Structure 1
């Protein structure tokens, strides 16, 4: 069986104390975001990440594709700095479904065996010990990218497996996040962005409004979110990529689009911390 070493970034005692100590109400819950590509973190959850980081919560991001040393990995580092995320890069280093050169010699993320993919994510969950995990929804956001959908499935499995000590025992001590939040777009909130994507030939996949359990006003962090999006320079220069589409919009329109984030909550441990309620409007 493959091993999934847990990076020794924090002393074991500190991790244990964080898990066992009562969380002060003034401190937001720790958050781990798992996304497919560099730029997903900024586009999909940049506001929530910025607020959690600004308020002192441990905030980390796992990115499934693109290898360390590639240009987009460097852009991701700049984006996380713009969001205030102090954790080091957590790159799984697999290849983008459509860009083999994103990780020369590595498998495409969509082709990675389930046990391998889930094991890596379990290791990060157990190391960070977040109360909240955030990832793509089942559609893979508006465009339904295969890597987004695969990340959704693998994260759902990993959040379940991370709590079970006899699964992936080499990946660290068990940890149960309180909730998984699926970043999504409701029908009512996707119209403007959907028109822009439709204009460049991309699909638009949104969910019924009743599926949304947290609507988050991130306008106070819009500047940080936009700085993180534009840190992905190679995407901002592309005509059909969402950062490039947003960059061509008037500032008022752009801020309106990026100023709200939507999530569907999946609860794993009833009664445990794990709510975005402090952020919800």
Structure 2
């Protein structure tokens, strides 16, 4: 029996490397199956050193060129050499409108992004990106909101990348070894867990494209680079999500995996 085609995906992530770490396997899986994918990154501007790395990672994943909202990182002035405002300081309506324009242009079946906790470490940019994405995926389908941002389009669902309490495994001690926090969700909140082991090598190549992070000791790419391949694959080969429905109920064709 022929499998139904996989839905098109738009990833919305706070900073370069989030897309590869949190959803690189799913993005590679969908691209391999012929589905359209793209990634919107909310912080780090085109003039920063990490955007060329982001472009290389997206090329590996088959997700096109970087799409940037153009804001600065909450904790790193190098993210915006041009002096752009920080995402956490930007007017909410402005940031939502910028993302709505991308959603209406691309018209993805599904949007994937951060969870409400801001992933394991609770970074303020992750939390703000989650809030903006929640509002934008709803607003994009309403013609009276942001009328200059293109024709309305409503994705079927938003999938929030997350980490269940029982699924942290080796990643927990790895982050704690450099003094990072562990914010996890109860297992019941996780609606979708995807085995991306067939795409682990592609995902790792995309993570490594973020060279400046892989060369440092504390960021997760650098921590993963110091592990053996089996240890690393054990961490990166499953991706967890919470489906936040907007369109048809579960059981419709627009699911993260066929």
TM > 0.5 between the two? yes
Give RMSD over aligned pairs: 1.2
The 2-side partners of 1:94 and 1:84 are apart by: 24
Which residue in the other structure is 2:206 paired with?
A: 228
1:182 to 144, 156, 160: 160
The 1-side partners of 2:243 and 2:109 are apart by: 13
The total of aligned residue pairs comes to 254
Q: Which runs of 4+ in 1 moved over 3 A?
A: none
Alpha-carbon shift at residue 113 of structure 1 (Å): 0.5
What is the DSSP-based 3-state SS (H/G/I as helix, E as strand, rest coil) of the residue aligned with 1:229? helix
What is the DSSP-based 3-state SS (H/G/I as helix, E as strand, rest coil) of the residue aligned with 2:42? strand
What is the DSSP-based 3-state SS (H/G/I as helix, E as strand, rest coil) of the residue aligned with 1:253? helix
Post-superposition Cα deviations, 1:65-107, rounded to whole Å, max 9, x if no partner, equal 111132200000000111122x221011211111122113110
Alpha-carbon shift at residue 191 of structure 1 (Å): 3.2
What is the DSSP-based 3-state SS (H/G/I as helix, E as strand, rest coil) of the residue aligned with 1:68? coil
1:92 to 69, 78, 81: 69
Q: Residue 59 of structure 2 contacts residue 65 of structure 2 at CA under 8 Å; is this kept in 1? A: no
Post-superposition Cα deviations, 1:151-206, rounded to whole Å, max 9, x if no partner, equal 00000000110010000000001111001000000011113201111110111011
Which residue in the other structure is 2:35 paired with?
A: 57
What is the DSSP-based 3-state SS (H/G/I as helix, E as strand, rest coil) of the residue aligned with 1:215? strand
Structure 2: any 5+ residue segments left out of the alignment?
none
Alpha-carbon shift at residue 228 of structure 1 (Å): 0.3
The 1-side partners of 2:246 and 2:31 are apart by: 23
Question: What is the TM-score of this pair, normalised by structure 1?
Answer: 0.88
2:255 to 275, 278, 281: 275
Which residue in the other structure is 1:103 paired with?
A: 80
The 2-side partners of 1:35 and 1:69 are apart by: 18
Structure 1: any 5+ residue segments left out of the alignment?
1-23
